[in-house]
Chain A
Amino acid sequence: MLFWVPVAALSLLLIYNTLPYFSFSKDFSFIEERSFLFKSNFYNACFYIHIFAGSLCILTALIQFSRYIMKKSRAIHRFSGKIYVFVVLFLGAPTGLYMSFFAKGSFWERALFMFMASFWFITTLNGLTTIHKRNVIAHKVWMMRSYAMAMTAVTFRVYHIVFYLLNWGHLENYELSLWISVIGNMLFAEWVIYRQSKNYLRSFAT
């Protein structure tokens, strides 16, 4: 429970900071920096779709892991889950993949963004197919991995601020925050899965 307090707070802060972008003003550092890319209508569209999809999937994912909601009303879980899956598969991941070609950093950072988009798509798709097969455990595992990828947006910002306060240069801060957030989130998800699977296996032993 205590783990979810900062997760929820930071997720809501991310959504709150994303909302001003929907004024379609160009007066944001992210857009100013990529002013050349924003001349393209397609890139523009991808960007706004991506931030809309990202905000929505982070918001819907917040209630997906709640045991309380699962017990009280499975319909809410299913409804928000459908939104999450649709948003990731059709909006968030494809636009993210397109934008990854123009991402900041070296070839490796672009490759990492491509990997993130692909991994996000595959894990979400696997989560969907497994629940269609009534494999709840596999569904949980794949959705944890999917959520870990979605949450790189949040953890990236946390590391980015920490390194910024430590007076790091912008580009090195950006690159390191990106790598740590992706690898860190993946490792964390695998650790949670491992811990839960151990508990699950233990339940058979007793």
Chain B
Amino acid sequence: MIGASIYGFVDYKKTSHDKEFTKMYEEPKTTEPVTVTDPVKNENVVKTETPVPAKTTAKKGVSKKQVLPEEETVPSIKPIAEDEKMIVDDKAIEKTTVTVTPSKSTVEKKVTKPRRLSTKLFSRGALDERYVDEPKKKKN
């Protein structure tokens, strides 16, 4: 017993600094699927836009609609009076009802496997699923 304890202690001191030894019993991190708990919203979103006030732009230059006469007599440009200024008739934006239907959400149901009882579980080894469920390699 004394020999076993001395030998064990010496061996432990030798191997305790080894990274392989320190990481030996670390459980592998498993990435579980993200579970979204928010219920899927399927509401009609009413988008109300306030009508934009009529835009009044002062006609500064020659309007595009003005077509030059065939004779190509360019009339002299006269200053336009306030009344003659072109008023751009913007169509009043109607109230629109936009229905937003969200695409199929990636909600994954967290499935918990029911753990089975087996005589093989009567072991000192790890009882993780990776060991229990994995079929052991058959030797030829």
Interface of A with B (CB < 8 Å)? 10, 13-14, 16-17, 25, 27-37, 40, 42-43, 93-95, 97-102, 104-105, 114, 117-118, 121, 153, 156-157, 160-161, 164-165, 167, 169-171, 173-174
List residues of chain A with CB within 8 A of the CB of B9.
101
24 residue pairs from A and B, CB less than 8 Å apart: A14-B122, A17-B119, A28-B123, A29-B126, A29-B128, A29-B131, A30-B125, A30-B126, A31-B125, A36-B20, A37-B15, A37-B24, A42-B7, A43-B11, A97-B4, A100-B8, A105-B25, A117-B1, A121-B1, A156-B124, A160-B124, A160-B127, A161-B127, A164-B127
List residues of chain A with CB within 8 A of the CB of B131.
29, 32
Q: CB within 8 A of A102: which of B15, B20, B112?
A: B15
**Is B27 a contact of A17 with CB atoms below 8 Å?**
no
Residues 106-140 of B, flagged 1 when their CB comes within 8 A of A and 0 if not, give 00000010010101111111111001000011010
List residues of chain A with CB within 8 A of the CB of B4.
94-95, 97-98
Within 8 A of A (CB), among B1-54: 1, 3-5, 7-9, 11-12, 15, 18, 20-21, 24-25, 27
**Is B124 a contact of A157 with CB atoms below 8 Å?**
yes
**Is B115 a contact of A102 with CB atoms below 8 Å?**
no
Min CB–CB distance A46 → chain B (angstroms): 8
List residues of chain A with CB within 8 A of the CB of B15.
37, 102
Q: CB within 8 A of B7: which of A30, A93, A98?
A: A98
Min CB–CB distance B137 → chain A (angstroms): 6
Interface of B with A (CB < 8 Å)? 1, 3-5, 7-9, 11-12, 15, 18, 20-21, 24-25, 27, 112, 115, 117, 119-128, 131, 136-137, 139
**Is B5 a contact of A97 with CB atoms below 8 Å?**
yes
CA distance A40 to B36 in the complex (A): 48
**Is B137 a contact of A101 with CB atoms below 8 Å?**
no
